[in-house]
A and B are shown apart, each in its own frame.
Chain A
């Protein structure tokens, strides 16, 4: 079972590397950012698989942190990609 888990983890890592092709070729900025999302999901999968063997339970916590921080990167990207909110939705400054 140890060999199977390591093998599946390596296979997922290879799919991550294949995803980099989209970073190089993707015509728009959004296409390139999508791959960061792929790294989030599949990277969590790799970490969880590696955490199942031996004395590496801490990697499971690392996967948890990855899953928590992935949306933060997306919000930052969206802010960067579409700029500030329009005037109508901005809060009036207090006088």
Chain B
């Protein structure tokens, strides 16, 4: 167990925690827009932490760079898709949460 192993393990576990938080947000938040917010931010942070943890042990610069390229693509696509889905929901007349949780 070197220092790098411990660091990598910490990053992986933190990423798993953030991914869990994203799923909990999708399941618990009251409307589409809040759920999108949880999904496209928290999950990307979780994926980023996983990528950092893996690239610490990747063994080669090429592998680490490819991992970061994957993360970069997911980040860009999430930024665009979040806006597109929210606009589609607005056009379809999906209302936003009013501020009082029933039940």
Contacts and interface: CB of A to CB of B under 8 A. Distances in A.
Nearest to B28: A22
A63 to B, nearest CB: 5
A47 B89 CA distance: 30
A60 B32 contact: no
Interface in A30-57: 30-31, 33-35, 37-38, 40-42, 44-45, 48-49, 52, 57
B81 A8 contact: no
Nearest to B58: A52
B26 A34 contact: yes
A1 B9 contact: yes
Q: Is the interface of A mostly helix, strand, loop or mixed?
A: helix
B78 A41 contact: yes
Interface of B: 5, 8-9, 12-13, 15-16, 19-20, 22-23, 26-27, 32, 35-36, 39-40, 43-44, 46-47, 50-51, 54, 57-58, 63, 66-67, 69-70, 73-74, 77-78, 80-81, 84-85, 87-89, 91-92, 94
Given A1-B57, A37-B78, A82-B92, 8 more contacts: A16-B23, A37-B39, A42-B23, A60-B70, A64-B70, A78-B84, A78-B88, A81-B92
Interface of A: 1, 4-5, 8, 11-12, 15-16, 18-19, 21-22, 28-31, 33-35, 37-38, 40-42, 44-45, 48-49, 52, 57, 60, 63-64, 67-68, 70-71, 74-75, 77-78, 81-82
